[in-house]
Amino acid sequence: MQSHNARGTISVHLARFVVDALRRTGAGMDRFARFHDLGPEVLGNDLARVSTPSALSVWEELTLSGAGSAVGALLTTRPRSARSACGTTWSPAVPVCGSP
């Protein structure tokens, strides 16, 4: 059961994932400086929550960026430095190295 304090928010892990994808497109992050919950102090805290409106703004920018309809490929393709020790590309839908 989700805490009533978590309603209207997403996990900071998902927010970091989408913010990182947006950065990799080369899009300017200046627009998001006004969102207090997208700052490094919040994104660096594994227990933090990010408001849904902030997350949707980043997602909208990502889908409207140069990535366009290739956003799915952008999200599932990680830089070589982020690949696992098994040599597979990280994907949220695929277990890495036999993990559950």
| Three-class SS state of 45 | coil
pTM, entire model: 0.62
pLDDT attached to residue 3: 60
pLDDT attached to residue 32: 84
Distance in angstroms (rounded) separating the CA atoms of residues 96 and 89: 9
| Three-class SS state of 4 | helix
- The owner of tokens 């190295």 is 97
pLDDT, tens only, 29-74: 888 888 889 999 999 999 999 999 999 999 888 887 765 556 666 6
| Contact present, 80 and 87 (Cβ < 8 Å) | no
| Contact present, 65 and 22 (Cβ < 8 Å) | yes
Mean pLDDT of 69-94: 52
pLDDT, tens only, 3-33: 656 789 999 999 999 898 888 888 778 888 8
The mean predicted confidence, pLDDT, of the chain is 74
Q: Which residues make Cβ contacts (< 8 Å) with residue 6, sequence separation at least 6?
A: 49
DSSP state of 65: S
Q: Which residues make Cβ contacts (< 8 Å) with residue 61, sequence separation at least 6?
A: 22, 27, 31, 32
